[in-house]
Amino acid sequence: MGELTEEVIKKYIEAGRIAKEVREYSDKIVKPGEKALNVCLELEGKIISIGGKLAFPCNISINEVAAHFTPSHNDETRIPPDAVVKIDLGVHIDGYIADTAKTIDLSDKHVLLLEASREALEKAVEKLKPGVKAFEIGLVIEQAIKNYGFKPVRNLTGHSIDRYRIHAGLSIPNYGDRFAVFKMIKGMTVAIEPFATNGKGLTREGRITNIYSLAKTNPRKLDQESREVFDYISQEYKTLPFTPRWLVPIFGETTVQHAMRVLIKTKTLYVYPILVEVGKGLVSQFEHTILLTKDGKIVTTA
């Protein structure tokens, strides 16, 4: 956990400012019939155009898909009518990350589902302070969601954040998990992200994977093409998640496909499959990033 100096706090706040602006802009472009790829490209482009860098690929997870869907470079997926669309964005300034998400209900039929996760986030942020145990935050989230008649997604969590590390080792549950006994402390940066569902409250891995991050810093047995792609990933993204569609304009589709096969086979990469609600229930999500400073807390993405 890095020290929250004034300079570091400024970078976190700037990342949060950009993330908030782009998150709210998503309301204008998430529409029925629009390509998911076009939405992600526009949001990622906007992050870069206003001074941020991408902390991870734009996630656009629809209906029962809870998390980790980002389109491939040639993906034809379109947003269906009446969809529940989750937009999850990551911005960094010099490695200091803002992670934020919102849900858009294109039918206006799922107001309470959205409100359940939104209110759970508000109450969790209110509860968050040094000395509070992780399970206490999870319990607040669980109670808020159940008050609306829905279930928290139990195997998705909030998380600690560090420089160039979107998931920095600590998980903050979305229910009152009594094993999560570690305490919040000054200097922590955390993302709180309640997921609510009208399904069973659990996710499973789906077949699609378009998000990866480096698991090895110096892998062996890479051919020249794969080594060039690896070196680029290591330099540009470090330990942050990336998507192969970012690499296609640089190396070409054939080279990227080959390199990804090699990097996965050699276990050079972590893989992040899409996560689907096991009961095919609709899922909503809202998320903020919070700094616990010596003077209190800063919700950078609010």
Instruction: Supply 109's token pair.
Output: 């039929």
Can you give the three-state secondary structure of 110-151, one letter per residue?
CHHHHHHHHHHHHHHHHHCCCCCEHHHHHHHHHHHHHHCCCE
Which phi and psi (to 5°) does residue 290 adopt?
A: -130, 135
* Edge-to-edge strand list for the sheet holding 283-285: 151-152, 195-197, 283-285
* N-term to C-term CA, the chain: 23
DSSP character string of 36-60: HHHHHHHHHHHHHHTT-EEEEEEEE
**Residue 24: strand, helix, or coil:** helix
Cα 230-232-234 angle, rounded to 5 deg: 70
Tokens describing residue 161: 């954040």
What six digits make up the tokens of 94? 């010099």
Amino acid 158 reads G
Q: Are 171 and 184 in contact (CB under 8 A)?
A: no
Residues in the chain: 302
Quick count: other Cβ atoms within 10 Å of Cβ 297? 18
Q: Which residues are catalytic?
A: 88, 99, 159, 167, 193, 287
Contact indicator for 187, 170 with CB cutoff of 8 Å: no
